[in-house]
Amino acid sequence: MTQNQNELENKLVVVAGGAGEIGERITRMFLQQGARVLVPSRSKAKLNALGDSLTDISTGELIPLETDVSTAQGLAALTAAISKAGVLRAAVSSVGTFWQGPSALEVPVGEVRRVFDETFFPYVGLTQALIPALGPDTHFIKLNGILSLQAVPHVSAFGVSATAQMAWTRSLIAEATESTPWITELVIDSLVRTRSLQTLPKEYISGDDIAQEILRIVAETNEHQIATMGKGPGDARIEFVPIRGQASENSVKRLFGSFQAKG
Ligand SMILES: NC(=O)c1ccc[n+]([C@@H]2O[C@H](COP(=O)([O-])OP(=O)(O)OC[C@H]3O[C@@H](n4cnc5c(N)ncnc54)[C@H](OP(=O)(O)O)[C@@H]3O)[C@@H](O)[C@H]2O)c1
- The pLDDT-based confidence of 242 (bands split at 50, 70, 90) is confident
Measured in Å, residue 21 CA sits from the centre of ligand 1 at 7
Question: CB of 66 closer than 6 A to ligand 1?
Answer: no
**Segment holding 48, helix H or strand E:** helix 44-53
Helical spans, DSSP H, in 86-220: 109-130, 156-174, 207-220
Determine the pLDDT at residue 239: 84
Measured in Å, residue 168 CA sits from the centre of ligand 1 at 18
Measured in Å, residue 170 CA sits from the centre of ligand 1 at 21
Rounded to two decimals, what is the model's pTM? 0.95
Cα gap 50→27, rounded to integer Å: 9
Please compute the mean of the pLDDT values over residues 190-196 and round it to a whole number.
96
Measured in Å, residue 47 CA sits from the centre of ligand 1 at 14
- The pLDDT-based confidence of 2 (bands split at 50, 70, 90) is very low
Question: CB of 41 closer than 6 A to ligand 1?
Answer: yes
Which residue of 27, 38, 97 sits with most ligand 1 atoms within 8 Å of its CB, as the best mutation to test the pocket?
97
Q: Whole domain around residue 154: which residue ranges?
A: 3-261
**Which residues, including other chains, have CB under 8 Å from residue 112's CB and lie 6 or more apart?**
156, 157, 160
CB atoms within 10 A of CB 55: 7
Q: Is 171's pLDDT higher than 80?
A: yes
Q: How many domains does the chain have?
A: 1
Question: CB of 118 closer than 6 A to ligand 1?
Answer: yes
Q: Which CATH number characterizes residue 109's domain?
A: 3.40.50.720
What atom in ligand 1 is closest to the CA of residue 24?
16
**Segment holding 52, helix H or strand E:** helix 44-53
